[in-house]
Structure 1
Amino acid sequence: MDNNQLHPDSLLVSSGRPHGHGAPLNHPPIFASNFVIGNGEELEYARDGSNQSWSGFETLVSDLEGGGMSTSFSSGMAAISSVFQNVPNNGNVALPTDCYGGVVALVNEGKENQQWNVKRIEAGDTKTWIEVIEKGYDLVWLEGVTNPMVEVSDIETICKTSRPANTLVCVDCTFSTPLNLQPLKKGADVSVHSATKFFGGHSDLLLGVVTTKNEELHKKVQRHRQIHGALPGAMETFLAIRGSRTLALRLERAQQNALILAERLNNHPAVMVTRYPGLPSHPQQVR
């Protein structure tokens, strides 16, 4: 059966595995920097390409995203940086007012170095997001669910907006995971994850991943990984694949527990404000 026909829960169990008779069921971690030179098509030096430790995880993420090409990195911020390197000097960047602190630090550094111009937009201000896309901002950075204040943007409406060729729309889906949001299917150019979080699931790895359907952008991202040395570790990608096998079960329980906790806190006299997208009181309620 084609992977596109499989439910995401099934993909989590079946995708990213070796093929062929006699192959191991799981990709083993390959601890190697150099490889035997062959006919020129095989990997010769780890930094110059991928190996099975990484490619298994990248295949899994691509399948979960509904297609595209994935590139794994040594951390979520390494993955994010590979996207920002596409912004030209004096380029324009838009990102949410509530946004992951690492991204804010990266953007502020670029602004201080007069590398780019920055506009901050409320996550729920769909009208302004559409305006900056139509104006041709070089990078429009969204978060599926913002970190840390769990605000929600209308990703589908924003991402389907017609835009100039220079504009990249990227969605950080770390909090959403591909089980809740597949931005490439909504019209985004790039999807980013800190696999350190839900994919790994056990607080024992650092890993990031970028997925796009744009082949030229994919090559740029891979080139950035190569020349900046932001390679994932063999053990980290092995652990990420293993952690991903239980993602559906873990995420379902986490969401159930979060809603129960949010409802209790929302009714607690000592709590002034409870922020959770599943509550009716949330400004962008999601059910």
Structure 2
Amino acid sequence: MNDAALHRSTLAIHAGRGPRTPGGPLNPPLTLASSFHGGDYAREQGTPVWEAFEEAIGTLEGGRSVSYASGIGASTAIVETLPAAAKVVGPAAGYAWTRSLLRDRADSGRITLTEVDTSDTEATLKACEGADLLWLESPSNPMIEIAELDRLCAELRDRDTRVAVDSSFATPLLQRPLELGADFSMHSATKFIGGHSDLMLGVVTTRDERLDARLRHVRAQLGATPGSLESFLALRGLRTLPLRIETAQRTALELARRLSNHPAVKAVHYAGLPTDPGHERAKRFMDGFGAMLSIELDTTPEAAEAVCRSVRVFTHAKSLGGIESLIDRRARYTGSSAPQTLLRLSIGCEHVEDLWNDLFHALEQENQS
């Protein structure tokens, strides 16, 4: 099969299946083993089901992939590739566990950390003077901001600054950071790749063989190994990702449009809207706008929380990327003094009118109370 000739939605279905051997299984089988004949040990050499999942993601990303027990395990592995006292530039707003990971490493003296608004390209480039690593999250959590990945990677290519991109919200179908010049592309496969809210897994892809070897060593050293069942389920989830993301992002755009005109909504954060600050950037290097959006309500934090409790089709829960739509109240960023009336929506595959009616009635019910 000539991978270069196939659309990525086709690759998501076929990559990582192995040779078409007569009598062999169509899907890579679940391998429940820690030791193998000849001396291989799963923590060190991996297992066939890990390898199948990594081959599939690597094919989509255009590099070599290493899987981990969780997304934060994958993030930790990237940090562990750095030398002692490395200078890291990270996002001032973004996924709380990644930011606490970087801050913990800075507090212990493992790295020095500069936080910056990574949607501000000039400020980010200035902060990267002498940096060993720039950590980007795009689209970001929970504000759905788009970093200027193409320009940042191009500007840093001639420096000794590596670029890591958490691309979990985009998936490999909508954004491929390695093609833009990034050194690491990271995904929490717990989210859209797995797609069914039933596993935890992370994956990092790189084109540098030395970094790939280092990532594998870190996995073995720290024991951040993925489970065989989780890898099997994530690979199965990947097969339906093209259908799920197409449906979900189409619905997300329609909901964003309607919510933009609702009197209770102060702001909608979604790059698919032409008025969004990240719209033109996303059009340049993304193949879609994704299925995550956030809305700010013109109300109190208590009322915003009540909206989450009032929905019946949406599920009030943390996390994202599942086939079911989720809603949760989030802080704009840790330490913000602004009223916490931001609602993050992960759009699934329910019918758009059912989701809209659910949101509309929850917003109207709160307006009347």
Tell me the TM-score normalised to structure 1 length: 0.93
**Distance in 2 (alpha carbons) for counterparts of 1:100 and 1:44:** 36
Unaligned 5+ runs, structure 1: 38-42
Give, as a single letter, the amino acid of the residue that structure 1 aligns with 2:251: N
Per the alignment, residue 34 of structure 1 pairs with 35
Per the alignment, residue 267 of structure 2 pairs with 273
Query: 1:253: Cα distance to partner?
Result: 0.9
Per the alignment, residue 12 of structure 1 pairs with 12
Per the alignment, residue 40 of structure 1 pairs with none
Per the alignment, residue 71 of structure 1 pairs with 66
Contact 2:167 2:185 in 1 (8 A): yes
Any residues of structure 2 matched to 1:193-232 within 5 Å, and which?
193-232=187-226
Query: 1:276: Cα distance to partner?
Result: 1.1
SS in 1 for 2:199: coil
Any residues of structure 2 matched to 1:1-287 within 5 Å, and which?
1-19=1-19, 20-37=21-38, 44-65=40-61, 67-133=62-128, 135-163=129-157, 166-285=160-279, 286-287=282-283
Contact 2:67 2:225 in 1 (8 A): yes
Contact 2:17 2:28 in 1 (8 A): yes
Partner deviation per Cα, 1:165-193 (whole Å, 9 max, x = no partner): 64211111100111111111111111000
SS in 1 for 2:82: coil
**Distance in 2 (alpha carbons) for counterparts of 1:44 and 1:120:** 42
Which has the higher mean CA deviation after the structures are superposed, 115-124 or 251-260?
Answer: 115-124
Computed over aligned residues only, the root mean square deviation of the Cα atoms, in angstroms, reads: 1.5
**Distance in 2 (alpha carbons) for counterparts of 1:132 and 1:251:** 34
Partner deviation per Cα, 1:29-52 (whole Å, 9 max, x = no partner): 101111122xxxxx6211111211
Give, as a single letter, the amino acid of the residue that structure 2 aligns with 1:24: P
Which has the higher mean CA deviation after the structures are superposed, 154-163 or 98-107?
Answer: 154-163
Tell me the TM-score normalised to structure 2 length: 0.73
**Distance in 1 (alpha carbons) for counterparts of 2:158 and 2:72:** 27
SS in 2 for 1:70: strand
**Distance in 2 (alpha carbons) for counterparts of 1:236 and 1:118:** 33
Identity across matched positions, percent? 42
Give, as a single letter, the amino acid of the residue that structure 1 aligns with 2:248: A
SS in 2 for 1:273: strand
Structure possessing the higher relative contact order (Cα contacts under 8 Å, 6 or more residues apart): 1
Contact 2:116 2:127 in 1 (8 A): no
Computing the radius of gyration over CA atoms, which structure comes out larger, 1 or 2?
Answer: 2
Contact 2:67 2:203 in 1 (8 A): yes
Contact 2:190 2:200 in 1 (8 A): yes
Give, as a single letter, the amino acid of the residue that structure 2 aligns with 1:150: I
Partner deviation per Cα, 1:140-189 (whole Å, 9 max, x = no partner): 01112001110001111111124466421111110011111111111111
Unaligned 5+ runs, structure 2: 284-369
**Distance in 2 (alpha carbons) for counterparts of 1:162 and 1:263:** 36
**Distance in 2 (alpha carbons) for counterparts of 1:106 and 1:50:** 26
